[in-house]
Amino acid sequence: SPRLGFNYDITGDRKIQVRGGTGLFTGRPAFVWISNQIGNNGVITGFDDITNTTTRPFNPNPTTFIPAVPSLPSSYELAVTDPDFKFPQVWRSNIATDVKLPYDLVGTLEFIYNKEVNGIGYFNANLPAPTSNLIGADTRPRYSTQRINANVVNAVTLDNSNNGHSYSFAASLEKPLTKGLFAKASYAYGESMNTIDAGSIASGSYNNNPISIDPNNSPLGFSSNDQRHRFITSVSYRYEYGKIGSSQISIFFEGRNQGRFSYIYSNDLNGDLNTNDLLYIPRDMSEMNFQTYTPTGAAAAYTAAEQAADYEAYIQQDEYLNSRRGKYAERNGVVLPWIWQADLNFTQDFHINVGGKKNTIQFTANILNIGNLINNKWGVGNLATNSRPVRVQSVTADVPLYRLNVKGVLSDGTIDKYNETFTKSAGITDVWSAQFGIRYIFN
């Protein structure tokens, strides 16, 4: 892991310092990536694909269907590792400048760039070559539902990828602690791209990787950890009462994008048996073939013309989809809106003398997401209303037939439709909360 770093005082009085470095950083993989091949080796576990309810009806006795003479499973998954697999490595470079400004302020600018040398990749060694392509505006490859080895569900192989990269730019302004006052404000902009977001299970990492082309050659896409914008401000003031104690109040304020998600079909389009196919966004509705159907409980059928009109309206209100007309959706291409939240802390210390030594009784009060306490519309996050708006009903002679998904059916038989990209979330972090504490500190 060769590295080179420097820190240069330009003016000789530490008012302007330039620092930076470049080098190779090596780390261990998550060990579960390696141990996947121990649990998925074809003899420990297997799958029986049963499509009826009579072969093995429910029985509360868990031993009922264990065979008297066990045999190897008829189908199984394999998780294997490429013999040339290398531990994760990135080449990281950074350059930064720290400047001492008037009024005892310190300004910092920093740029960091990372390039994968040995990143993480997966492919399915049991996936055959595509047999055809879709016909129409969407021409993605189609696969036979058969595998190279029919008994092997998947043979997901862990290997390396060197295509990923990331960069970030940050600027900050800081008031170092002076007479009890500290303040800092910073903004960061970044981009992170890779070919796969590896999880803990090999098959899940591969099967759930959104794709529009060959799933064994995943192109660069936005990482799920991509943090495009982040702004933070922190202010703290501490007042000492001589030997009696002290009071401190602090506020942390943050604004950021809430994450990313992908638009995919709600079932398998390309025939590789995985539901991870990225949407094709039509130039207009003439490129879509919808099927009239009646949702369960609906008073009337949902016609193909109605679905086309509703899908067009949904695309037009969605900034991302509308910008990708005639193209495929990108992996993690949709950026969720900004969220702004603030946390408040108040700490009260009382000093007491015990055996000639100063001890402290400390009381703390924290209000998380305090803006929501002031206004219940503040500090509330967002969720994607529906990341899978379209279902592939069938594919005949490489021409797909679609259905537009709906939320459900209302009590009067009216179809409840999706008409907006985001909805407000309702988790514990979306509402204010308070924490109180007491601590005895021995000095």
Output the average pLDDT for the chain: 94
Q: Is the pLDDT of residue 385 over 80?
A: yes
Model confidence at 275, pLDDT cuts 50, 70, 90, reads: very high
Q: Is the pLDDT of residue 42 over 90?
A: no
- Amino acid letter for position 305: A
Model confidence at 258, pLDDT cuts 50, 70, 90, reads: very high
Contact call for residues 165 and 113 (beta carbons, < 8 A): yes
d(CA 413, CA 415): 6
Nearest in space to 195 (alpha carbons), one of 277, 281, 123, 112: 123
Between strands 390-396 and 433-441, the pairing is unpaired
Handedness of CA 288, 292, 297, 300 (dihedral sign): positive
What is the rounded average pLDDT of the residues 353-377? 94
Torsion of CA 325, 326, 327, 332, to 10 degrees: 30
- Amino acid letter for position 332: N
Backbone angles phi, psi at 235, to 5 degrees: -130, 135
d(CA 30, CA 234): 34
Contact call for residues 351 and 245 (beta carbons, < 8 A): yes
d(CA 289, CA 204): 31
Residue 260 is encoded by which pair of tokens? 């990313």
pLDDT for 120:
93
pLDDT for 49:
74
pLDDT for 46:
66
Residue 317 vs residue 243, higher pLDDT: 317
Ramachandran area for residue 68 (φ above 0: left; ψ -120 to 50: alpha; else beta): alpha
Does the pTM of the predicted model rise above 0.85? yes
What is the rounded average pLDDT of the residues 196-209? 91
pLDDT in tens, 403-420: 999 999 999 999 999 999
pLDDT for 408:
95
Model confidence at 234, pLDDT cuts 50, 70, 90, reads: very high
Contact call for residues 169 and 188 (beta carbons, < 8 A): yes
pLDDT in tens, 244-254: 999 999 999 99
Q: Is the pLDDT of residue 71 over 90?
A: no
Q: Is the pLDDT of residue 48 over 90?
A: no
Q: Half-sphere exposure of residue 243, counting CA atoms within 13 Å on the CB side?
A: 4
Q: Half-sphere exposure of residue 315, counting CA atoms within 13 Å on the CB side?
A: 23
- Only one residue has tokens 């330009």, namely 10
Model confidence at 52, pLDDT cuts 50, 70, 90, reads: confident
pLDDT for 65:
85
What is the rounded average pLDDT of the residues 5-21? 95
What is the rounded average pLDDT of the residues 274-283? 97
